[in-house]
Structures are given as C-alpha cells and as structure tokens.
C-alpha cells in the first residue's frame, strides 16, 4: 500500500489532522524534521548520477563545508 505524507502549516492544523485520523481509525506516524531530512537525502542519493566518480572535495564543497 502506498503512503501519504502530509505537512500541516501550524500546530492547530496538526492537531486537527491528528484528531481526524484517529477518529477515522487511520494509522498515522509522526515524523521528526531530522527524519524528513534523512528521507530527502535518500531520495536525492537514488536520483544521483553514479556513472562518474566524484572527489571528496567536491562533495564537501556541495555541502558547504
């Protein structure tokens, strides 16, 4: 089954959506901001070009370090 990721605009909307899902007996999981960043990084890694080697320096430059 596919999943749906919803990002509420504020705490009030978060509470409303949480209550609605609970009332409808729909399973929901709260994902922390750090976890969302990890998911985004994983998606970027899947889309990345892998045919050319990349230097360590260029990686850190792209990350701003």
pLDDT tens-digit profile of 29-59? 999 989 988 988 898 888 877 788 888 898 8
For residue 14, the Cα-to-chain-centroid distance in whole angstroms is 17
pTM: 0.58
What is the band of 27 on the pLDDT scale with cuts at 50, 70, 90? Answer: very high
Query: Is-contact 8 14, C-beta < 8 A?
Result: yes
**Chain-centre distance for alpha carbon 28:** 15
pLDDT exceeds 80 at position 65: no
pLDDT confidence of residue 20: 97
Q: How far apart are the two ends of the chain, measured CA to CA in Å?
A: 39
The continuous run of DSSP H or E covering 46 comes out as helix 33-47
**Digit-coded pLDDT (tens) for 6-23:** 999 999 999 999 999 999
């Amino acid at each position: 089954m596919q999943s749906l990721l919803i990002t509420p605009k504020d705490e009030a909307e978060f509470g409303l959506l949480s209550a609605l899902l609970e009332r409808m007996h729909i399973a929901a999981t709260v994902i922390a901001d750090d976890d969302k960043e990890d998911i985004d990084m994983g998606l970027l890694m899947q889309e990345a070009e892998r045919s050319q080697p990349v230097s360590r320096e260029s990686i850190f430059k792209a990350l701003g370090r």
